[in-house]
A and B are shown apart, each in its own frame.
Chain A
Amino acid sequence: MIQDIALGLLISGVAVEGTSRLIVDIAMYFGLFVIVAMALNFQYGNAGIPNMGCAVQVIVGGFTVSALTTRLIFSIVKSSGVELMPWADDFDWVYNNPANVAMTNTYIADKPMFGVSMLLFSLAVALILGAVIGWIIALPAIRLRATYLMIVLITMADASQIFGRNVPAISGGTLGVFIPDIFKWYQGDRTILTAIIALLIGLVSFFIFRTMLNSPYGRLMRSIRENEITVGSVGKNVVGIRRNILMFASGITALSGTLLAFYFSYVVEANYQRAFWTYWPWLMLILGGPGNNAGTFLGCALVVAMRRVIIVNKWFLQAVFFFPIAYFESILLGVLLIVVIMFRPNGLIPEKLLYIPGVNYRKLVDEEAVVDWRGAPKARGASSGISGIFRTLGGRKEADD
Protein backbone atom coordinates (compact mmCIF):
# COMPACT_ATOMS: atom_id res chain seq x y z
CA MET A 1 0.00 0.00 0.00
CA ILE A 2 2.78 2.43 0.96
CA GLN A 3 4.59 1.64 -2.26
CA ASP A 4 1.40 2.37 -4.15
CA ILE A 5 1.02 5.76 -2.46
CA ALA A 6 4.67 6.60 -3.15
CA LEU A 7 4.23 5.54 -6.74
CA GLY A 8 1.11 7.67 -6.94
CA LEU A 9 3.08 10.66 -5.71
CA LEU A 10 5.80 10.09 -8.28
CA ILE A 11 3.53 9.51 -11.27
CA SER A 12 1.06 12.20 -10.41
CA GLY A 13 1.20 13.42 -13.99
CA VAL A 14 -1.78 11.14 -14.52
CA ALA A 15 -3.80 13.63 -12.46
CA VAL A 16 -6.41 12.14 -10.20
CA GLU A 17 -6.71 8.50 -11.07
CA GLY A 18 -5.87 5.37 -9.17
CA THR A 19 -3.66 6.00 -6.16
CA SER A 20 -3.61 9.75 -6.75
CA ARG A 21 -7.37 9.64 -6.44
CA LEU A 22 -6.94 7.99 -3.03
CA ILE A 23 -4.44 10.65 -1.98
CA VAL A 24 -6.81 13.47 -2.93
CA ASP A 25 -9.60 11.68 -1.08
CA ILE A 26 -7.50 11.29 2.06
CA ALA A 27 -6.42 14.94 1.85
CA MET A 28 -10.03 16.09 1.46
CA TYR A 29 -11.29 14.08 4.41
CA PHE A 30 -8.27 15.08 6.46
CA GLY A 31 -9.10 18.76 5.81
CA LEU A 32 -12.77 18.26 6.68
CA PHE A 33 -12.12 16.25 9.82
CA VAL A 34 -9.39 18.61 10.97
CA ILE A 35 -11.92 21.45 10.94
CA VAL A 36 -14.49 19.42 12.88
CA ALA A 37 -11.99 17.91 15.33
CA MET A 38 -10.32 21.25 16.05
CA ALA A 39 -13.69 22.85 16.72
CA LEU A 40 -14.50 19.90 19.00
CA ASN A 41 -11.15 20.31 20.71
CA PHE A 42 -11.98 23.98 21.21
CA GLN A 43 -15.27 23.03 22.86
CA TYR A 44 -14.44 19.87 24.78
CA GLY A 45 -10.67 19.93 25.11
CA ASN A 46 -10.47 23.51 26.30
CA ALA A 47 -13.88 24.50 27.61
CA GLY A 48 -15.17 21.12 28.77
CA ILE A 49 -18.35 21.24 26.66
CA PRO A 50 -18.99 17.66 25.54
CA ASN A 51 -20.50 18.41 22.14
CA MET A 52 -21.94 15.15 20.87
CA GLY A 53 -23.88 17.04 18.23
CA CYS A 54 -21.12 17.90 15.74
CA ALA A 55 -23.26 16.27 13.04
CA VAL A 56 -25.91 18.99 13.51
CA GLN A 57 -23.45 21.71 12.68
CA VAL A 58 -21.96 19.84 9.73
CA ILE A 59 -25.42 19.10 8.32
CA VAL A 60 -26.29 22.80 8.57
CA GLY A 61 -23.34 23.52 6.28
CA GLY A 62 -24.60 20.97 3.77
CA PHE A 63 -28.17 22.22 3.94
CA THR A 64 -26.96 25.78 3.40
CA VAL A 65 -25.64 24.75 0.00
CA SER A 66 -28.63 22.61 -0.99
CA ALA A 67 -31.41 24.85 0.29
CA LEU A 68 -30.01 28.36 -0.10
CA THR A 69 -27.04 28.52 -2.47
CA THR A 70 -28.60 26.24 -5.08
CA ARG A 71 -31.83 28.28 -5.12
CA LEU A 72 -29.86 31.51 -5.31
CA ILE A 73 -27.79 30.20 -8.22
CA PHE A 74 -30.95 29.01 -10.02
CA SER A 75 -32.52 32.45 -9.53
CA ILE A 76 -29.46 34.29 -10.85
CA VAL A 77 -29.12 31.95 -13.82
CA LYS A 78 -32.80 32.27 -14.65
CA SER A 79 -32.70 36.05 -14.38
CA SER A 80 -29.83 36.08 -16.87
CA GLY A 81 -32.04 34.45 -19.49
CA VAL A 82 -31.45 30.68 -19.16
CA GLU A 83 -34.74 28.77 -19.37
CA LEU A 84 -34.63 26.59 -16.28
CA MET A 85 -37.37 24.15 -15.40
CA PRO A 86 -39.63 25.07 -12.44
CA TRP A 87 -38.29 24.30 -8.98
CA ALA A 88 -40.75 26.04 -6.66
CA ASP A 89 -42.64 23.05 -5.23
CA ASP A 90 -41.13 19.94 -3.66
CA PHE A 91 -41.80 17.65 -6.60
CA ASP A 92 -40.21 20.02 -9.14
CA TRP A 93 -37.36 20.78 -6.77
CA VAL A 94 -36.36 17.12 -6.62
CA TYR A 95 -37.26 15.78 -10.07
CA ASN A 96 -36.25 18.80 -12.18
CA ASN A 97 -33.06 19.21 -10.20
CA PRO A 98 -30.66 17.22 -12.46
CA ALA A 99 -31.78 19.08 -15.60
CA ASN A 100 -31.56 22.47 -13.87
CA VAL A 101 -28.12 21.71 -12.48
CA ALA A 102 -26.89 20.61 -15.92
CA MET A 103 -28.06 23.90 -17.47
CA THR A 104 -26.60 25.89 -14.58
CA ASN A 105 -23.25 24.14 -14.96
CA THR A 106 -23.15 25.19 -18.60
CA TYR A 107 -23.77 28.77 -17.48
CA ILE A 108 -21.01 28.67 -14.82
CA ALA A 109 -18.48 27.09 -17.22
CA ASP A 110 -17.29 30.47 -18.53
CA LYS A 111 -17.89 32.54 -15.37
CA PRO A 112 -15.21 31.77 -12.80
CA MET A 113 -15.94 34.85 -10.71
CA PHE A 114 -19.55 33.78 -10.34
CA GLY A 115 -18.47 30.33 -9.13
CA VAL A 116 -15.96 31.75 -6.65
CA SER A 117 -18.45 34.30 -5.34
CA MET A 118 -21.01 31.53 -4.77
CA LEU A 119 -18.38 29.54 -2.86
CA LEU A 120 -17.62 32.53 -0.64
CA PHE A 121 -21.31 33.23 -0.18
CA SER A 122 -21.92 29.62 0.87
CA LEU A 123 -19.06 29.64 3.35
CA ALA A 124 -20.19 32.95 4.86
CA VAL A 125 -23.81 31.87 5.18
CA ALA A 126 -22.77 28.47 6.61
CA LEU A 127 -20.65 30.27 9.20
CA ILE A 128 -23.57 32.44 10.23
CA LEU A 129 -26.17 29.66 10.19
CA GLY A 130 -23.77 27.36 12.06
CA ALA A 131 -23.46 29.99 14.77
CA VAL A 132 -27.25 30.41 14.82
CA ILE A 133 -27.76 26.66 15.21
CA GLY A 134 -25.15 26.70 17.98
CA TRP A 135 -27.20 29.36 19.74
CA ILE A 136 -30.41 27.36 19.23
CA ILE A 137 -28.73 24.23 20.61
CA ALA A 138 -27.46 26.22 23.54
CA LEU A 139 -30.90 27.56 24.47
CA PRO A 140 -32.29 24.43 26.15
CA ALA A 141 -29.08 22.51 26.69
CA ILE A 142 -26.25 24.71 27.84
CA ARG A 143 -27.35 24.88 31.47
CA LEU A 144 -27.39 21.11 31.70
CA ARG A 145 -24.67 19.03 33.25
CA ALA A 146 -22.27 17.21 30.92
CA THR A 147 -24.15 13.91 30.69
CA TYR A 148 -27.54 15.43 29.95
CA LEU A 149 -26.00 17.93 27.55
CA MET A 150 -24.47 15.02 25.61
CA ILE A 151 -27.80 13.21 25.44
CA VAL A 152 -29.64 16.32 24.23
CA LEU A 153 -27.02 16.99 21.56
CA ILE A 154 -27.10 13.39 20.30
CA THR A 155 -30.86 13.69 20.00
CA MET A 156 -30.53 16.96 18.11
CA ALA A 157 -28.06 15.37 15.68
CA ASP A 158 -30.62 12.68 14.88
CA ALA A 159 -33.42 15.23 14.67
CA SER A 160 -31.53 17.28 12.10
CA GLN A 161 -31.08 14.22 9.91
CA ILE A 162 -34.78 13.35 10.25
CA PHE A 163 -35.65 16.90 9.15
CA GLY A 164 -33.46 16.52 6.08
CA ARG A 165 -35.02 13.16 5.27
CA ASN A 166 -38.62 14.33 5.54
CA VAL A 167 -38.54 17.87 4.23
CA PRO A 168 -37.67 17.65 0.50
CA ALA A 169 -37.36 21.43 0.21
CA ILE A 170 -34.14 21.29 2.27
CA SER A 171 -32.09 18.62 0.57
CA GLY A 172 -34.46 16.59 -1.58
CA GLY A 173 -35.45 14.14 1.14
CA THR A 174 -34.14 10.61 0.74
CA LEU A 175 -33.23 11.17 -2.91
CA GLY A 176 -31.00 14.14 -2.24
CA VAL A 177 -30.27 16.96 -4.68
CA PHE A 178 -27.44 17.72 -7.04
CA ILE A 179 -25.89 21.11 -6.55
CA PRO A 180 -24.35 23.23 -9.29
CA ASP A 181 -20.66 22.64 -9.87
CA ILE A 182 -19.23 26.03 -8.94
CA PHE A 183 -15.82 24.87 -10.22
CA LYS A 184 -17.18 24.05 -13.67
CA TRP A 185 -14.96 26.79 -15.13
CA TYR A 186 -11.94 24.69 -14.12
CA GLN A 187 -11.16 22.22 -16.89
CA GLY A 188 -9.50 19.63 -14.65
CA ASP A 189 -10.71 17.73 -11.60
CA ARG A 190 -12.61 19.93 -9.16
CA THR A 191 -11.95 17.61 -6.21
CA ILE A 192 -8.36 18.81 -6.02
CA LEU A 193 -9.60 22.39 -5.71
CA THR A 194 -12.01 21.46 -2.94
CA ALA A 195 -9.27 19.51 -1.14
CA ILE A 196 -6.95 22.52 -1.29
CA ILE A 197 -9.71 24.81 0.01
CA ALA A 198 -10.51 22.35 2.84
CA LEU A 199 -6.85 22.14 3.87
CA LEU A 200 -6.47 25.93 3.73
CA ILE A 201 -9.59 26.46 5.84
CA GLY A 202 -8.23 23.86 8.28
CA LEU A 203 -4.99 25.83 8.51
CA VAL A 204 -6.76 29.17 8.99
CA SER A 205 -9.01 27.57 11.64
CA PHE A 206 -5.90 26.36 13.43
CA PHE A 207 -4.54 29.93 13.57
CA ILE A 208 -7.86 31.29 14.81
CA PHE A 209 -8.21 28.65 17.52
CA ARG A 210 -4.58 28.98 18.55
CA THR A 211 -4.91 32.76 18.92
CA MET A 212 -8.09 32.39 20.96
CA LEU A 213 -6.63 29.69 23.20
CA ASN A 214 -3.50 31.71 23.93
CA SER A 215 -5.53 34.80 24.83
CA PRO A 216 -7.01 35.57 28.27
CA TYR A 217 -10.29 34.19 26.91
CA GLY A 218 -8.59 30.83 26.35
CA ARG A 219 -7.44 30.80 29.96
CA LEU A 220 -10.97 31.63 31.02
CA MET A 221 -12.20 28.65 28.97
CA ARG A 222 -9.78 26.34 30.70
CA SER A 223 -10.78 27.64 34.08
CA ILE A 224 -14.43 26.90 33.24
CA ARG A 225 -13.39 23.40 32.24
CA GLU A 226 -11.58 22.87 35.52
CA ASN A 227 -14.15 24.36 37.86
CA GLU A 228 -17.08 26.33 36.59
CA ILE A 229 -18.45 27.00 40.07
CA THR A 230 -15.29 28.87 41.03
CA VAL A 231 -15.38 30.89 37.81
CA GLY A 232 -19.02 31.73 38.41
CA SER A 233 -18.27 32.75 41.97
CA VAL A 234 -15.82 35.42 40.79
CA GLY A 235 -18.49 37.04 38.64
CA LYS A 236 -18.03 35.46 35.22
CA ASN A 237 -21.09 34.55 33.18
CA VAL A 238 -20.33 30.85 32.72
CA VAL A 239 -23.49 30.08 30.74
CA GLY A 240 -22.89 33.02 28.39
CA ILE A 241 -19.27 32.04 27.81
CA ARG A 242 -20.20 28.43 27.10
CA ARG A 243 -22.89 29.60 24.69
CA ASN A 244 -20.41 31.84 22.86
CA ILE A 245 -17.92 28.98 22.57
CA LEU A 246 -20.59 26.65 21.22
CA MET A 247 -21.75 29.25 18.69
CA PHE A 248 -18.27 30.02 17.43
CA ALA A 249 -17.25 26.38 17.12
CA SER A 250 -20.57 25.53 15.45
CA GLY A 251 -19.95 28.17 12.80
CA ILE A 252 -16.51 26.76 12.01
CA THR A 253 -17.82 23.18 11.96
CA ALA A 254 -20.54 24.12 9.46
CA LEU A 255 -17.82 25.05 6.95
CA SER A 256 -16.83 21.40 6.62
CA GLY A 257 -20.41 20.46 5.70
CA THR A 258 -20.38 23.10 2.97
CA LEU A 259 -17.09 21.85 1.57
CA LEU A 260 -18.32 18.26 1.61
CA ALA A 261 -21.35 19.31 -0.45
CA PHE A 262 -19.11 20.95 -3.05
CA TYR A 263 -16.79 17.94 -3.03
CA PHE A 264 -19.61 15.58 -4.02
CA SER A 265 -21.67 18.20 -5.90
CA TYR A 266 -24.55 16.45 -4.21
CA VAL A 267 -26.32 16.75 -0.87
CA VAL A 268 -28.29 14.02 0.84
CA GLU A 269 -28.94 13.72 4.55
CA ALA A 270 -27.40 10.22 4.63
CA ASN A 271 -23.98 11.79 4.02
CA TYR A 272 -24.20 13.52 7.39
CA GLN A 273 -24.68 10.60 9.74
CA ARG A 274 -24.19 11.07 13.44
CA ALA A 275 -21.68 8.23 13.73
CA PHE A 276 -19.59 9.65 10.94
CA TRP A 277 -19.52 13.31 11.95
CA THR A 278 -19.65 12.96 15.73
CA TYR A 279 -18.07 9.72 16.92
CA TRP A 280 -15.14 9.65 14.50
CA PRO A 281 -14.11 13.23 15.40
CA TRP A 282 -14.40 12.23 19.05
CA LEU A 283 -12.09 9.28 18.44
CA MET A 284 -9.61 11.59 16.69
CA LEU A 285 -9.72 13.99 19.60
CA ILE A 286 -9.33 11.33 22.27
CA LEU A 287 -6.66 9.46 20.32
CA GLY A 288 -4.56 12.57 19.69
CA GLY A 289 -5.11 14.15 23.08
CA PRO A 290 -7.80 16.64 24.16
CA GLY A 291 -6.82 20.24 24.82
CA ASN A 292 -4.02 20.09 22.32
CA ASN A 293 -4.13 21.08 18.64
CA ALA A 294 -1.07 19.03 17.68
CA GLY A 295 -2.72 15.96 19.16
CA THR A 296 -5.91 16.70 17.25
CA PHE A 297 -3.95 16.85 14.00
CA LEU A 298 -2.16 13.61 14.77
CA GLY A 299 -5.42 11.87 15.68
CA CYS A 300 -7.03 13.14 12.46
CA ALA A 301 -4.14 11.99 10.31
CA LEU A 302 -4.08 8.51 11.84
CA VAL A 303 -7.81 7.89 11.80
CA VAL A 304 -8.50 9.35 8.34
CA ALA A 305 -5.63 7.46 6.73
CA MET A 306 -6.69 4.25 8.47
CA ARG A 307 -10.32 4.60 7.42
CA ARG A 308 -9.61 5.41 3.79
CA VAL A 309 -7.12 2.56 3.47
CA ILE A 310 -9.66 0.17 5.00
CA ILE A 311 -12.38 1.38 2.63
CA VAL A 312 -10.17 1.03 -0.42
CA ASN A 313 -8.94 -2.41 0.58
CA LYS A 314 -12.22 -3.86 1.80
CA TRP A 315 -12.18 -6.64 -0.77
CA PHE A 316 -8.78 -7.82 0.39
CA LEU A 317 -9.67 -7.53 4.06
CA GLN A 318 -12.87 -9.51 3.60
CA ALA A 319 -10.80 -12.65 3.00
CA VAL A 320 -9.17 -12.24 6.43
CA PHE A 321 -12.22 -11.66 8.61
CA PHE A 322 -15.01 -14.06 9.43
CA PHE A 323 -17.70 -11.35 9.72
CA PRO A 324 -19.03 -9.03 6.98
CA ILE A 325 -16.43 -6.37 6.30
CA ALA A 326 -19.10 -3.64 6.30
CA TYR A 327 -19.12 -3.85 10.11
CA PHE A 328 -15.37 -3.59 10.42
CA GLU A 329 -15.24 0.21 10.59
CA SER A 330 -17.86 0.39 13.33
CA ILE A 331 -16.14 -2.37 15.30
CA LEU A 332 -12.83 -0.60 14.90
CA LEU A 333 -14.33 2.68 16.09
CA GLY A 334 -15.68 1.07 19.25
CA VAL A 335 -12.56 -0.97 19.97
CA LEU A 336 -10.22 1.97 19.43
CA LEU A 337 -12.30 4.23 21.67
CA ILE A 338 -12.26 1.66 24.48
CA VAL A 339 -8.56 0.88 24.10
CA VAL A 340 -7.52 4.54 24.01
CA ILE A 341 -9.69 5.48 26.98
CA MET A 342 -8.39 2.50 28.98
CA PHE A 343 -4.68 2.70 28.23
CA ARG A 344 -4.06 6.24 27.04
CA PRO A 345 -6.76 8.54 28.44
CA ASN A 346 -4.65 11.66 27.82
CA GLY A 347 -4.08 10.74 24.18
CA LEU A 348 -0.88 10.29 22.22
CA ILE A 349 0.22 13.87 22.88
CA PRO A 350 -0.89 14.92 26.38
CA GLU A 351 -2.02 18.46 26.98
CA LYS A 352 0.75 20.84 27.90
CA LEU A 353 0.53 23.39 30.66
CA LEU A 354 -0.50 26.95 29.95
CA TYR A 355 2.27 29.31 29.00
CA ILE A 356 1.65 32.59 30.77
CA PRO A 357 4.67 34.90 30.60
CA GLY A 358 6.03 35.59 34.08
CA VAL A 359 3.97 32.90 35.80
CA ASN A 360 5.38 29.51 36.69
CA TYR A 361 2.24 27.57 36.01
CA ARG A 362 3.82 24.18 36.67
CA LYS A 363 4.82 25.29 40.14
CA LEU A 364 1.30 26.52 40.79
CA VAL A 365 -0.14 23.20 39.68
CA ASP A 366 2.46 20.97 41.29
CA GLU A 367 2.72 22.99 44.47
CA GLU A 368 2.11 20.87 47.53
CA ALA A 369 -0.16 22.52 50.01
CA VAL A 370 1.93 22.37 53.15
CA VAL A 371 -0.44 22.77 56.07
CA ASP A 372 0.76 22.82 59.61
CA TRP A 373 -1.52 20.36 61.40
CA ARG A 374 0.47 20.44 64.63
CA GLY A 375 -2.17 22.55 66.30
CA ALA A 376 -5.02 20.46 64.93
CA PRO A 377 -5.41 17.80 67.66
CA LYS A 378 -5.97 20.50 70.24
CA ALA A 379 -8.50 22.29 68.14
CA ARG A 380 -10.34 19.13 67.13
CA GLY A 381 -10.17 17.57 70.52
CA ALA A 382 -8.64 14.29 71.58
CA SER A 383 -11.63 12.29 70.42
CA SER A 384 -11.17 13.07 66.73
CA GLY A 385 -9.85 10.46 64.35
CA ILE A 386 -9.81 6.67 64.65
CA SER A 387 -7.31 6.62 67.48
CA GLY A 388 -9.28 9.33 69.26
CA ILE A 389 -12.43 7.21 69.09
CA PHE A 390 -10.62 4.27 70.67
CA ARG A 391 -9.17 6.52 73.30
CA THR A 392 -12.62 7.91 74.12
CA LEU A 393 -14.22 4.48 74.20
CA GLY A 394 -11.40 3.16 76.36
CA GLY A 395 -11.71 6.11 78.74
CA ARG A 396 -8.00 6.77 78.56
CA LYS A 397 -6.64 10.12 79.59
CA GLU A 398 -4.60 11.92 76.98
CA ALA A 399 -1.04 12.07 78.09
CA ASP A 400 0.49 13.59 75.03
CA ASP A 401 -1.81 16.64 75.02
Chain B
Amino acid sequence: MDWDTILFWVMIAIWVIMPAFIVYEEIRERRALAESEASTEEIEAVNE
Protein backbone atom coordinates (compact mmCIF):
# COMPACT_ATOMS: atom_id res chain seq x y z
CA MET B 1 0.00 0.00 0.00
CA ASP B 2 1.29 3.42 -0.92
CA TRP B 3 0.99 6.56 1.17
CA ASP B 4 -1.90 7.89 -0.89
CA THR B 5 -4.01 4.88 -0.04
CA ILE B 6 -3.14 5.04 3.66
CA LEU B 7 -3.93 8.74 3.83
CA PHE B 8 -7.10 8.21 1.84
CA TRP B 9 -8.34 5.80 4.48
CA VAL B 10 -7.18 8.11 7.28
CA MET B 11 -9.27 10.83 5.63
CA ILE B 12 -12.28 8.52 5.42
CA ALA B 13 -11.79 7.58 9.09
CA ILE B 14 -11.71 11.23 10.19
CA TRP B 15 -14.69 11.95 7.98
CA VAL B 16 -16.67 9.14 9.60
CA ILE B 17 -15.48 9.74 13.17
CA MET B 18 -16.25 13.46 13.12
CA PRO B 19 -20.02 13.30 12.50
CA ALA B 20 -20.33 10.13 14.58
CA PHE B 21 -18.74 11.90 17.53
CA ILE B 22 -20.91 14.97 17.04
CA VAL B 23 -24.08 12.88 16.91
CA TYR B 24 -22.92 11.04 20.05
CA GLU B 25 -22.33 14.39 21.82
CA GLU B 26 -25.73 15.65 20.71
CA ILE B 27 -27.51 12.55 22.00
CA ARG B 28 -25.59 12.73 25.29
CA GLU B 29 -26.48 16.39 25.81
CA ARG B 30 -30.14 15.80 25.03
CA ARG B 31 -30.20 12.88 27.46
CA ALA B 32 -28.50 14.95 30.18
CA LEU B 33 -31.07 17.67 29.58
CA ALA B 34 -33.96 15.23 29.94
CA GLU B 35 -32.47 13.69 33.08
CA SER B 36 -31.89 17.10 34.60
CA GLU B 37 -35.50 18.07 33.92
CA ALA B 38 -36.79 14.83 35.38
CA SER B 39 -34.69 15.15 38.53
CA THR B 40 -35.68 18.80 39.04
CA GLU B 41 -39.34 17.92 38.67
CA GLU B 42 -38.96 15.09 41.17
CA ILE B 43 -37.32 17.41 43.70
CA GLU B 44 -40.03 20.00 43.19
CA ALA B 45 -42.75 17.38 43.58
CA VAL B 46 -41.19 16.23 46.87
CA ASN B 47 -40.93 19.81 48.13
CA GLU B 48 -44.55 20.51 47.30
B-contacting residues of A (Cβ < 8 Å)? 9, 12-13, 15-16, 20, 23-24, 27, 30, 186-189, 192-193, 195-196, 199-200, 202-203, 206, 210, 292-294, 297-298, 301, 349, 352-353, 355, 357-363
Interface footprint category on B:
20 to 34
Give Cα distance in the complex from A329 to B7, angstroms: 31
Contact between chains at A195 and B36 (CB < 8 Å): no
Q: Which residues of B contact A15 (CB under 8 A)?
A: 2, 4-5, 8
Contact between chains at B8 and A16 (CB < 8 Å): yes
Give Cα distance in the complex from A143 to B47, angstroms: 46
Given A188-B3, A192-B4, verify A352-B11 contact (CB < 8 Å). Answer: no
Contact between chains at A294 and B33 (CB < 8 Å): no
Q: For residue A181, give the distance in angstroms from its CB to the closest CB of chain B.
A: 16
Instruction: Look across to chain B and name the residue whose beta carbon is closest to the beta carbon of A196.
Output: B11
Main secondary structure of the interface of B (DSSP, over half): helix
B:16-42 near A, CB below 8 Å = 18-19, 21-23, 25-26, 29-30, 32-33, 36-37, 40-41
Q: Which residues of A contact B12 (CB under 8 A)?
A: 9, 23, 27
Given A188-B4, A202-B18, A297-B22, verify A360-B40 contact (CB < 8 Å). Answer: yes
**Contacts A/B (CB < 8 Å), 20 sampled:** A12-B8, A13-B5, A27-B15, A192-B4, A192-B11, A195-B11, A196-B10, A199-B11, A199-B14, A199-B15, A203-B14, A203-B21, A210-B25, A293-B22, A294-B26, A355-B33, A357-B36, A358-B36, A358-B40, A360-B36
Q: For residue A54, give the distance in angstroms from its CB to the closest CB of chain B.
A: 21
Q: Which residues of A contact B44 (CB under 8 A)?
A: 360
Instruction: Look across to chain B and name the residue whose beta carbon is closest to the beta carbon of A352.
Output: B30
Partner of B37, one of A187, A188, A200, A363: A363
Known: A13-B2, A24-B8, A199-B18. 12 other contacts (CB 8 A): A9-B12, A15-B5, A16-B4, A23-B12, A200-B14, A206-B18, A297-B19, A355-B33, A358-B40, A360-B36, A360-B37, A363-B37
Contact between chains at A27 and B37 (CB < 8 Å): no
Give Cα distance in the complex from A323 to B48, angstroms: 68
Contact between chains at B37 and A12 (CB < 8 Å): no
Q: For residue B23, give the distance in angstroms from its CB to the closest CB of chain A.
A: 6
Contact between chains at B36 and A355 (CB < 8 Å): yes
B1 in contact (CB, < 8 A):
yes
Contact between chains at B18 and A203 (CB < 8 Å): yes
Q: Which residues of A contact B29 (CB under 8 A)?
A: 352, 355
Give Cα distance in the complex from A187 to B2, angstroms: 10
Contact between chains at B11 and A186 (CB < 8 Å): no
Q: Which residues of B contact A187 (CB under 8 A)?
A: 3
Instruction: Look across to chain A and name the residue whose beta carbon is closest to the beta carbon of B30.
Output: A352
Q: Which residues of B contact A23 (CB under 8 A)?
A: 8, 12
Instruction: Look across to chain B and name the residue whose beta carbon is closest to the beta carbon of A195.
Output: B11
Q: Which residues of A contact B33 (CB under 8 A)?
A: 352-353, 355, 361-362
Given A192-B4, A192-B7, verify A301-B30 contact (CB < 8 Å). Answer: no
